[in-house]
């Protein structure tokens, strides 16, 4: 296994107040990565639209297994205790008590942000809300930002990077807009399960994200 998760079950929350920012894409690809590395992986879908569970329905039995959970109806009650990692796909527009409840379930939080003026402005206010939550303020959960569906060498991507680098959370990776994610989703696969000749560039873009998750920087301070 290339990735180290530690000795206890790890919960990784994918969230943003904006809809359509690629939360489900990030969640499914992250779950597929951990499963393909041999970890007992759970994918908890808290969005009633069920996009991540729809993806899981397309996954062939010969692929690394992932346990799907309807988080929007049962929470994490049915998550196997033997799980190594639980990837949580949060619903859009999570705020207030709902957001606090989701954060309490996680040790690591990823916030994908799209390259648009609306998303850039929303990211700042959403991050401030996250940082105000007691679990994060007490450093019992770690946050990182991911630029998602970017087109390199565009003005708006440059503006997005400038914004993310100014915010009070590490900006760890930029993932391009690519048909590979569509191909993978339609087959219930993750980007790391596509052939190297097709997806090597995307793998390279995922490297810093995985490296951060694999480091102590992504783990909360021990009590």
The pLDDT, as a whole number, for residue 213 is 96
The pLDDT, as a whole number, for residue 6 is 56
DSSP symbol at 195: -
Q: How far apart are the first and last CA of the chain?
A: 28
CATH code, domain with 64: 3.40.50.300
Which of 190, 74, 175 is CA-nearest to residue 115?
Answer: 175
The pLDDT, as a whole number, for residue 159 is 93
Which of 136, 188, 144, 198 is CA-nearest to residue 170?
Answer: 144
Low-confidence ranges of the chain (pLDDT < 50): 1-2, 223
The pLDDT, as a whole number, for residue 36 is 97
Q: Please tell me the total count of domains within the chain.
A: 1
Which of 73, 134, 69, 74 is CA-nearest to residue 99?
Answer: 134
At what angle are helices 23-36 and 196-213 packed, to 10 degrees? 90
List pLDDT tens digits, range 128-146: 999 999 899 898 999 999 9
The pLDDT, as a whole number, for residue 222 is 54
| Domain assignment of residue 170, yes or no | yes
The pLDDT, as a whole number, for residue 188 is 97
Q: Write out the residue range of the structural domain in which residue 187 sits.
A: 10-211
| Domain assignment of residue 156, yes or no | yes
């Amino acid at each position: 296994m290339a990735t180290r998760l530690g000795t206890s079950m790890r919960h990784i929350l994918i969230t943003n107040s904006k809809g359509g920012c690629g939360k489900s894409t990030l969640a499914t690809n992250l779950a597929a990565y951990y499963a393909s590395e041999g970890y007992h992986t759970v994918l908890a879908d808290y969005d009633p639209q069920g996009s991540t569970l729809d993806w899981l329905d397309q996954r062939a039995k010969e692929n690394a297994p992932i346990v799907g959970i309807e988080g929007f109806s049962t929470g994490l009650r049915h998550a196997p205790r033997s799980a190594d990692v639980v990837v949580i796909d949060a619903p859009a527009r999570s705020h207030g008590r709902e957001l606090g409840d989701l954060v309490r379930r996680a040790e690591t939080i990823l916030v994908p942000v799209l390259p648009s003026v609306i998303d850039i402005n929303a990211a700042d206010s959403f991050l401030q809300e996250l940082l105000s939550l007691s679990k994060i303020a007490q450093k019992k959960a770690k946050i990182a930002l991911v630029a998602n569906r970017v087109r390199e060498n565009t003005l708006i991507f440059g503006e997005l990077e400038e914004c993310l680098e100014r915010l009070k959370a590490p900006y760890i990776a930029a993932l391009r807009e690519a048909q590979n994610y569509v191909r993978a989703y339609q087959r219930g696969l993750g980007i790391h399960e596509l052939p190297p000749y097709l997806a090597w560039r995307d793998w390279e873009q995922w490297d810093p994200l995985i490296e951060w998750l694999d480091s102590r920087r992504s783990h909360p301070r021990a009590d």
